[in-house]
A = this chain, B = another copy of it.
């Protein structure tokens, strides 16, 4: 902070500009913003500001820049890696939450686009699109509370990446407030535009370190109206990979999900979440949920599902399978998949990882990571669940609460376990963060896994666009 501007002066200026009700301070008013939803991270903020317009965001940026106080932009505060709350050390930021910028500025069904402000809740955007017969495809666990701006800043993944890509692939344009308070209006809703560097991609996935996203032009798709779903037990991950290829060849973009889960993960769901049924009789080492979607003809969709699965059975790749006979069964099978987080939280201490590797390397990744973990703790339980179609596997070493408490240095053990999994991904040309982002958890991993050239490029961009380290200093690039 500049000596000339005290905390009180800055707050007074912010209150003048935004109104007193848009500037929160004091523990009770700000606690929901300064601590993450799982209670793992908290830090201090000078205050929480809630601007309602792009102009107000610009004003906040200028006032903070003049005062030399950093800004932490925040969406719905649903980060899984501490990305949305202040650090516990370092200069205390103003926390800029976009919740009040929630206007839907335009819906253009014929163009397949929507212009929305950063504070819109993801679910609201999905519902608004569906209301005009279109799909905004990004879908994830936190969709009821996460904000569009947060999904953009973290390039959110989720369950529809296989069919529709990450958030990045579903953005046509952005409006961003830059470090000097300038508003860059890049809200073009065009499918094609080759006029210079495509600036929006700088800000998508930059976790708020290069500017504040205030609005976005989103891409809408045809709304699928029919679905077909199967749950089956592949012989092993290599068989699952071959079956994935069969579905891709037969179904092209009808294939909308291909999720894998190991036996231990399924058993945790069945043991710890009420009313979850084993989809198949007996015990199987591996499970896959495969879903198709289309805009027409449920019979044809079920036919291709049955036919492809039948081929896989004939080739000896599948031990057992069931096809959802109706919407209720389909919902029930998805519930098993969606109960994973709840089950794992209740069952044990899970060391969640978020690796992606080339899809073709998923079987090798699972095998090598298992070996690596068991070399440290022989026989340790491992829950495996992932978006196999994207190469994204959450490989989760599980300690019983008792075993974890008995560890001499549990933090070090946790770090070592995660490191050996991430090392396997790196060796297979993969990544330590497929969808969760860097946040606070991943910062040391950037140093470990990124090349010197890549880190240097990122530092160059940060220095160029935010020379005074106004936005989220110390984040993203170590």
By a beta-carbon cutoff of 8 Å, the part of chain A in contact with chain B is 108-113, 133, 154-155, 157, 161-162, 165-166, 168-169, 178, 182-186, 188-199, 201-202, 204-206, 210, 221-224, 241, 244-245, 248-253, 294-297, 300, 304, 356-361, 387, 389-392, 429-438, 442, 445-446, 449-451, 453-454, 456-458, 460-461, 463-465, 476-477
Question: With the chains together, A387 CA to B192 CA distance in Å?
Answer: 10
Q: Which partner residue on chain B sits nearest A135 by CB separation?
A: B252
Question: With the chains together, A391 CA to B111 CA distance in Å?
Answer: 8
Partner of A169, one of B169, B185, B300: B169
Q: How far is the CB of A178 from chain B (nearest CB, A)?
A: 7
Question: With the chains together, A453 CA to B174 CA distance in Å?
Answer: 13
Check B202 against A197 for contact (C-beta < 8 Å). yes
Q: Which partner residue on chain B sits nearest A297 by CB separation?
A: B300
Check B360 against A453 for contact (C-beta < 8 Å). no
Partner of A464, one of B199, B359, B435, B463: B463
In the complex, chain B residues whose CB is within 8 Å of the CB of A188: 429-431
Q: How far is the CB of A143 from chain B (nearest CB, A)?
A: 17
Check A358 against B195 for contact (C-beta < 8 Å). no
Q: How far is the CB of A450 from chain B (nearest CB, A)?
A: 7
Question: With the chains together, A108 CA to B360 CA distance in Å?
Answer: 7
Q: Which partner residue on chain B sits nearest A189 by CB separation?
A: B358
Partner of A454, one of B165, B199, B438: B199
Partner of A194, one of B186, B201, B387, B436: B436
Shortest 7 CB-CB contacts between residues of A and residues of B: A201-B201, A464-B464, A110-B360, A192-B434, A222-B252, A111-B358, A111-B360
Check B197 against A476 for contact (C-beta < 8 Å). yes
In the complex, chain B residues whose CB is within 8 Å of the CB of A206: 197
Q: How far is the CB of A345 from chain B (nearest CB, A)?
A: 23
Q: Which partner residue on chain B sits nearest A110 by CB separation?
A: B360
Partner of A357, one of B190, B194, B464: B190
In the complex, chain B residues whose CB is within 8 Å of the CB of A461: 197, 202, 461, 464
Question: With the chains together, A184 CA to B455 CA distance in Å?
Answer: 10
Question: With the chains together, A210 CA to B195 CA distance in Å?
Answer: 15
Question: With the chains together, A430 CA to B188 CA distance in Å?
Answer: 7
Check A358 against B252 for contact (C-beta < 8 Å). no
Check A191 against B457 for contact (C-beta < 8 Å). no
**Known A198-B168, A460-B464; contact A192-B157, beta-carbon cutoff 8 A:** yes
Q: How far is the CB of A445 from chain B (nearest CB, A)?
A: 8
8 A-B contact pairs sorted by A residue (CB < 8 Å): A112-B248, A185-B453, A193-B431, A221-B252, A222-B248, A222-B249, A222-B253, A296-B304
Check B191 against A356 for contact (C-beta < 8 Å). yes
**Known A111-B360, A360-B111; contact A185-B451, beta-carbon cutoff 8 A:** yes
Check A429 against B110 for contact (C-beta < 8 Å). no
Check A430 against B194 for contact (C-beta < 8 Å). no
Check A476 against B196 for contact (C-beta < 8 Å). yes
Partner of A178, one of B191, B387, B449, B457: B457
Question: With the chains together, A104 CA to B57 CA distance in Å?
Answer: 48
In the complex, chain B residues whose CB is within 8 Å of the CB of A111: 358-361, 391
Check A195 against B457 for contact (C-beta < 8 Å). no
Q: Which partner residue on chain B sits nearest A445 by CB separation?
A: B195
Question: With the chains together, A294 CA to B252 CA distance in Å?
Answer: 7
Question: With the chains together, A230 CA to B68 CA distance in Å?
Answer: 63
Check B205 against A197 for contact (C-beta < 8 Å). yes
Check B358 against A108 for contact (C-beta < 8 Å). yes
In the complex, chain B residues whose CB is within 8 Å of the CB of A249: 133, 222-223, 295
Check A161 against B454 for contact (C-beta < 8 Å). no
Partner of A253, one of B252, B304, B358: B252
Given contacts A191-B391, A194-B437, A197-B458, 7 further A-B contacts (CB under 8 A): A110-B360, A112-B248, A155-B198, A182-B456, A189-B429, A190-B429, A191-B392
Q: How far is the CB of A195 from chain B (nearest CB, A)?
A: 5
Question: With the chains together, A465 CA to B198 CA distance in Å?
Answer: 15
Check A454 against B196 for contact (C-beta < 8 Å). yes
